[in-house]
Chain A
């Protein structure tokens, strides 16, 4: 009798849980980004800012996702040349990431029952890193080298701490796994994060030092830049650009161009099959001919044969029309910009470090939820239409709850190109031409009357997200 009374509490507990998460969503909302991205591709940057603000007013960003709102609002404002507003938003993004370091126990518990979308989103490491890089670019656009330098230092500081962060995560996971029956037996070692030195941050640092006349530190920053390419071949698998911070014949004009759009997370829907004879958990996905294709397997002891569905996020490239970027000075081609940073590769490298842990969690959740649904369906199998409806309801409920966490910035550019030109002090008209693989100009940007100074930093930036 007492047990029956306790069971009556369950629906109420679910109601309270539902109320608790009523402000959040069970799945990632991303459809509202489509018109924003369309605006960015068309160069309608002010409109993109307005649409992003409207999305926030229409509760498309829950409080748990505030980091994403601030980051994307910061980026949209950067594209719209609202550099002050961009910095204000990016600062809030950085602060949110720091606040969200503290994990919510209740949300973590809910995530084991529902999915990772209920967790607060503190940003992927690469997203947090680029808050500082874009703030630096904003400050440079506002001719504030000192504050730009602060942001470069902050970016470098975060990179230094990245490796330690994954060692901590691995230790935390192992502690949980040792106490958890579902995860027991699984071993997780800290991934080797092969990204702790950002070439573009070093490039900015090098020029900022040189602009102060501090050529010793400019050289050290240059050495770090070289090291970024040499020690991180997975991230920098292209030739290092020919950069220079000092010229005996003139003064350096640095040109920086951003292009394309960084990869985004999309769902990969998988199925999980257990085999009690082989003590095997097999993960399958739809192959090219819609047949079951194995994604991977784990040797885990299982007592029955089950078949569950689950979804994981994958980073998917977004195509870009832009193949090369040229710069013209007073109408004459002065050179082709060289790639210094592939944000897509940086995002993959830092995401990879966290991915394994996330996949293990998703798998564990799928097993627990699948077992629960399996038992519930056995109980509901009373025959007739009623029993069939109950089983169908359990299947639908399980499917609704299982969603991949696809939260990520959808406004980051994909590539950064640079070139350092030697010029005499004076006033120049500078034009960037973004060109496709066939040599057609996809986009261009002109900066008229740019004054190259003898003292100080001469840096011009442009972008096209096409």
Chain B
């Protein structure tokens, strides 16, 4: 009897070592923090908050009053100056989406997209019919460019770590180099890891 119990115990230990993969579908809007590193939620929240801030500042009203139309904006380079690999492309797309969906500004493609579009136009110039061909040198020039950087500061002690991410964005008048808006958004994360496990 005892042997059976011990054998059962051994089998339990062996079974306990095996693991099964489980897949769960998550709401893309939900906040998920697994590793503590910069993730899609951070990217989305920072973009939403900073663009809301930028669009509610006087520069926008001033521009509309002076020019009688909405400003045209493009997103320039957002540098990753942090100590983590941040997908700046996703981050940039989040900014573009928020700006465009606000309806308060007009929006043109970024530098890399423009190159692709220009290639396409040149291709059309060569191959498309005269009726459908799009004209060269008729691009909508942006009035403002959004530039920025993400920085991080890490502090760590005995399995506890805090990471502060700071995103700085600046909206610059392309013609005059005038900075019309500077925004900053910080996210601070505390990550703790147990010193021991069984």
**B198 contacts A20, CB within 8 Å?**
no
A168 near B194: Cβ-Cβ < 8 Å? no
Contact A102 B79 (CB under 8 A): no
Asked if A105 is an interface residue, CB under 8 A from chain B, the answer is: yes
**Could you tell me if A103 and B196 are in contact, using CB atoms closer than 8 angstroms?**
yes
Q: How far is the CA of A106 from the CA of B154 in the complex (A)?
A: 32
* A157 lies within 8 A of chain B by Cβ: yes
Are the C-beta atoms of A105 and B82 separated by less than 8 Å? no
Q: How far is the CB of A211 from chain B (nearest CB, A)?
A: 13
Q: Is the CB of A16 within 8 A of B13?
A: yes
In whole angstroms, how far apart are the Cα atoms of A150 and B87 in the complex? Answer: 12
Tell me whether A101 and B158 are in contact (CB under 8 A): no
Residue contact A19 to B14, C-beta cutoff 8 Å: yes
Residues of B69-120 contacting chain A, CB below 8 A:
79-85, 88
Of A20, A149, A150, A164, the contact of B157 (CB 8 Å cutoff): A164
Tell me whether A102 and B195 are in contact (CB under 8 A).
yes
Q: Which residues of chain A are within 8 angstroms of B154 by Cβ–Cβ distance?
A: 157
Q: Return B40 CB to nearest CB of chain A, in Å.
A: 18
A161 interfacial contact with B, CB 8 Å: yes
Residue B68 CB within 8 A of the other chain: no
What residues of A have a CB within 8 angstroms of the CB of B159 in the complex? 101-102
Residue-by-residue, is A1-34 near B (CB-CB < 8 Å gives 1, otherwise 0)?
0000000000010011001100100000000000
Cα distance, A84 to B197, chains bound together (Å): 33
Q: A101-B193, A104-B196 are in contact. Are A157 and B10 (CB under 8 A)?
A: no
A386 CA to B146 CA, complexed, in Å = 86
How far is B13's CA from A19's CA once the two chains are assembled, in angstroms? 8
Assembly CA distance A157 to B163 (angstroms): 12
* Structural contact, A157 and B83, CB atoms closer than 8 A: yes
Contacts of B84 in A (CB 8 A): 150, 154
Give Cα A105 to B195, complex, Å. Answer: 10
Which of chain A's residues has its CB closest to B197's CB? A102
Q: Mark A81-110, 1 if CB is under 8 A from B, else 0.
A: 000000000000001001001111110000
B81 partner residues in chain A, CB cutoff 8 A: 149
Q: Mark B134-173, 1 if CB is under 8 A from A, else 0.
A: 0000000000000000000010111100000000000000
Are B80 and A150 neighbours in the complex by a CB distance under 8 Å? yes
* CB neighbours of A164 from chain B (8 A): 156-157
Count A-side interface residues using an 8 Å CB cutoff: 24
| Inter-subunit contact A106/B198 (CB<8 Å) | yes
Q: Closest CB of chain B to A95's CB: distance in Å?
A: 8
Instruction: Tell whether A104 pairs with B197 under 8 Å between CB atoms, given A15-B10, A168-B158.
Output: yes
| Closest CB in chain A relative to B33 CB, distance in Å | 15
Name the contact of B13 in the complex, choosing from A20, A104, A168 (C-beta under 8 A): A20
Are A16's CB and B197's CB within 8 A?
no
Chain B 13-29 per-residue mask, 1 if CB under 8 angstroms from chain A, else 0 = 11001000000000000
Is A153's CB within 8 Å of the partner chain B? yes
Does B128 make an interface contact (CB < 8 A)? no
* Inter-subunit contact B196/A147 (CB<8 Å): no
Task: State the Cβ distance, B84 to closest chain A Cβ, in Å.
Answer: 7
**A146 within 8 Å of B by Cβ?**
yes
Choose among A15, A98, A104, A146 the residue that contacts B79 (Cβ–Cβ < 8 A): A146
A104-B196, A104-B198, A105-B197 as given contacts; A153 in contact with B157, CB under 8 Å: no
Cα(A106)–Cα(B198), bound, Å: 6
A128 CB to nearest chain B CB (Å): 13
- Within the complex, the shortest CB–CB distance from A337 to chain B, in Å, comes to 29
- Which residues of A sit under 8 angstroms from B80, Cβ to Cβ? 146-147, 150
Give the CA-CA distance A164 to B158 in the complex, in Å: 9
The reply to whether B10 and A103 contact each other, CB–CB distance below 8 Å, is no
CB neighbours of A147 from chain B (8 A): 80, 85
* B187 neighbours in A (Cβ, 8 Å): none
- Measured CB to CB, the closest approach of chain B to A237, in angstroms, equals 30
26 contacts between A and B (CB under 8 A): A12-B6, A15-B10, A16-B9, A19-B14, A95-B35, A98-B193, A101-B159, A102-B194, A102-B197, A103-B195, A103-B197, A104-B196, A104-B198, A105-B196, A105-B197, A105-B198, A106-B198, A146-B79, A146-B80, A146-B88, A150-B80, A150-B82, A150-B84, A157-B83, A168-B157, A168-B158
B-contacting residues of A (Cβ < 8 Å)? 12, 15-16, 19-20, 23, 95, 98, 101-106, 146-147, 149-150, 153-154, 157, 161, 164, 168
Other CB < 8 Å A-B pairs besides A153-B83, A164-B157, 12 of them?
Answer: A12-B6, A19-B10, A101-B159, A102-B159, A102-B193, A102-B194, A103-B197, A104-B198, A146-B88, A147-B80, A150-B83, A154-B84
